[in-house]
Structure 1
Amino acid sequence: MGYAYYELVRNGEKIEAGYGVEAVCEKTGCTEKIDRGLAYLCGKTPGGDKHGCGGYFCERHLYGDNQCGTCAERAA
């Protein structure tokens, strides 16, 4: 399986993911263009896991161990 495009289920919703999928940062109010590749993933597993929510965020909104602000606070 390649990581340019794939589908996954996150919070009960099917979404398109992969570095070939254009997107916008999921931080409320941010309009930074990103893709849904692993570099912008909150956590370690697409779809979410104990390390992150599985959302996709720009570099300004990913912290520490590639986590969004909410997940980084929860891990602290």
Structure 2
Amino acid sequence: MGYALYTVHRNGEEIDAGYSVEATCEEPECSEQIDRGLAYLCGAIPGGDEYGCGGYFCGAHLYTALASVPAHQCSRCLSSTA
């Protein structure tokens, strides 16, 4: 399986994901252009998991998680694990 384009089930919805999928940061009122690759993913697994919501965020809205969390997180998920 390649990571350029694949399908993710998130919040009861099917979306395209992968580094070839152009997107906008999912932080409200942010218009930064990103892709839906793993580098912009909140959590460890596309679609969401115990570490994150599965959303895609720009570098200004995605944070390095705590040492005990093996993933980047958005501000909402980071505050829920602190």
TM-score bucket (shorter structure): over 0.9
CA distance in 2, matches of 1:58, 1:40: 6
Aligned to 1:15: 15
Give the ranges of 4+ consecutive aligned residues of structure 1 lying more than 6 Å apart after TM superposition.
none
What residue ranges of structure 2 are gaps of 5+ in the alignment?
66-71
Aligned to 1:34, the other structure's residue is in SS state strand
CA distance in 2, matches of 1:36, 1:28: 17
Deviations 1:1-54 (A, max 9, x none): 000000110000000000000000000000000000000000100000000000
CA distance in 2, matches of 1:23, 1:16: 10
After superposition, the CA RMSD in angstroms is: 0.5
Identity of aligned residues (%): 63
- How many pairs align? 76
Q: 1:74 aligns with which of 63, 76, 80?
A: 80
In the TM superposition, residue 63 of structure 1 has moved relative to its aligned partner by: 1.0
Q: TM-score, normalised by structure 1?
A: 0.98
Aligned to 1:63, the other structure's residue is in SS state strand
Which amino acid is the alignment partner of residue 16 of structure 1? D
Q: TM-score, normalised by structure 2?
A: 0.91
**If each structure's helix is expressed as a fraction of its own residues, which one has the higher value?**
1
What residue ranges of structure 1 are gaps of 5+ in the alignment?
none
**If each structure's strand is expressed as a fraction of its own residues, which one has the higher value?**
2
